[in-house]
Amino acid sequence: MIDPLAAARFRRLGTLTIFAVYFVILVGGIVRASGAGMGCPDWPTCFGQWVPPTDEAQLPANYHEIYAQRGYENTTFNPVKTWTEYTNRLIGASTGLLILLTAWASRIYLKGDKGIFYLAVTVLLLVGFQGWLGSAVVASNLKPLMITLHMLLALGIVALLIYAIARSQQPLLAQLDGGWQTPRFALLLKIAIGMTLIQVAMGTQVRESVDFIAHQHSYIDRQFWRDSFPIIFYVHRSFSSVILFTNLWLAWQIVAHTSPGSLLRRMAYALCVLIVTAILAGVSLDRLGFPAAAQPLHLLMANLIFGAQFFIWICLKYASGRPA
């Protein structure tokens, strides 16, 4: 028997960790939107210091030449960008600690459901790899492919965390009403998850192009960025309509077959809010001169949509009596 108090602690800690990972994604989006990714040109230190400087006078007089020799030409100290990136690293390190604690807390399932423990440990290992990948991103001078891999791995980490926490609550989730689920609904839910992943992949391609455009404009004159958007942006924009109506149908089916206040109904409402928010953020990027605040919000919503869909899928798997 699993100690109920220990199981509750694991659930709360794991849930906190999931929110922390999403917060890291949000902060990472802010770093990228503000062009602060190279605010610290080295890793794990920042300008060779564990606590970065606040003034250029604290750096060697020839620091431009030093970093040019390391492959980072045109390195210029900017305290706002430096501390934005450094804060991102601190939040990432704190989240890593939470993931370590979650893996430690999962040991209570070694005698019950070892899969939960293995999932938590896998997440811990992936976070270690993510840390290495973060250093590789800096070393690559923010190559677009490396940034995309960094983001997609974060998405995978969130999915495994959600699965681990949901699996630890399998007896409760099995009590949900999932008997109404038809093969058509189950198939369309899987398709919707796949479409979200495709949309995220296209979004990363758009972001890579935007990063290049932003660098050309020195991260100013945002109202002119749209003139240089690639074709993939318009495909990405149009595909959002397909995603919206597909998920609205799924949400309608859930609401029509579940009782008021049920977990599945709340998740259906949340999914609709997330998708509408993501679309509105995307519209603002397209029509309102690419506001900086909309970029990280759009990214966060995309990740939350995937998480919500994935959690609904797991819930319905357990509710129908099938292992997830």
Quote the pLDDT of residue 232. Answer: 87
Quote the pLDDT of residue 46. Answer: 87
Per-residue pLDDT of the chain in tens (324 residues, 90 and over written 9): 678 888 899 999 999 999 999 998 898 888 877 777 778 888 788 888 899 898 888 888 888 888 888 777 778 888 998 999 999 889 988 998 999 999 999 999 998 899 999 999 999 999 888 877 766 766 665 566 666 677 778 888 999 999 999 999 998 899 998 889 999 999 999 999 999 988 988 888 787 777 777 767 666 777 777 777 888 888 999 999 999 999 999 999 999 999 998 999 999 999 999 999 999 999 998 888 778 788 889 989 999 999 999 999 999 999 876 655
Q: Which residues of 175-201 are buried (b: 16+ CB within 10 A; e: fewer)?
A: ebebeebeeebbebbeebbebbeebbe
Contact call for residues 84 and 30 (beta carbons, < 8 A):
yes
User: Residue 120, SS3?
Assistant: helix
Distance CA 133, CA 242 (A): 33
Quote the pLDDT of residue 60. Answer: 86
Contact call for residues 274 and 207 (beta carbons, < 8 A):
no
Contact call for residues 38 and 72 (beta carbons, < 8 A):
yes
Task: Tell me how far the alpha carbon of residue 184 is from its chain's centroid.
Answer: 29
Quote the pLDDT of residue 249. Answer: 97
pLDDT tens-digit map of 91-146: 988 998 999 999 999 999 998 899 999 999 999 999 888 877 766 766 665 566 66
pTM as predicted: 0.85
Quote the pLDDT of residue 144. Answer: 60
Distance CA 162, CA 168 (A): 10
Burial of residue 220 (CB within 10 Å: 0-12, 13-18, 19+) is exposed
Distance CA 96, CA 102 (A): 10
Distance CA 219, CA 205 (A): 18
Q: Whats the size of the chain, residue-wise?
A: 324
